[in-house]
Amino acid sequence: MNLYMKPTITLINGNIPFVFTVPPVDFADSKTMGNIPVEIVDIGQDIRSGKRNMDVYSWSGFLPSIESRFYDPVLNPLGSSPSKLYLETLMKKNVILFLVIPEYPLFVRCKIDSLRFESRDHSGDIYYSITLVQEGSGLGIVDKLTGLFKRG
């Protein structure tokens, strides 16, 4: 595996990491506010500020088969089909995960919102698109009252 393939995306389920060994083709980080346009008589439209919505993270790439040159048993011993089944199981069970991308830096609690899988060639690789939605207020390593990092 090429050591310069970045970013490294990892989903952590408790103490079990799932590493996407091949960096994504694309990555999107969406942040939205629930702003509402309001009609005011004889004046026009005004924007009423809403609350911040949860962040949405999405990317696409492929899960390498065991025969692929991108397969790395050290980072992720699962092949393409077991990886697909594992991700589907995480989504069906509505598991809270930690999304970790140290190059950005991004450390967020999230859940899988959508998955899409596709076979494009006869290599055994499985192409995917994944969308994650932020869960709660992130890692929970910052004290909500003081805003400082928790100790110990």
| Residue 23 confidence (pLDDT) above 70 | yes
| Residue 138 confidence (pLDDT) above 60 | no
Q: What CA–CA distance (Å, rounded) separates 72 from 83?
A: 13
Of the two residues 60 and 141, the one the predictor is more confident about is 60
Query: What does the pLDDT read at residue 47?
Result: 73
Q: What CA–CA distance (Å, rounded) separates 47 from 52?
A: 14
Query: What does the pLDDT read at residue 2?
Result: 44
Mean pLDDT in residue range 125-143 = 78
Q: What CA–CA distance (Å, rounded) separates 6 from 85?
A: 24
Q: What CA–CA distance (Å, rounded) separates 10 from 102?
A: 9
> Are residues 131 and 56 in contact, defined by beta-carbon separation less than 8 angstroms?
yes
Q: How confident is the model at residue 71 (pLDDT cuts 50, 70, 90)?
A: confident
Q: Give the 3-state secondary structure of residue 81.
A: helix
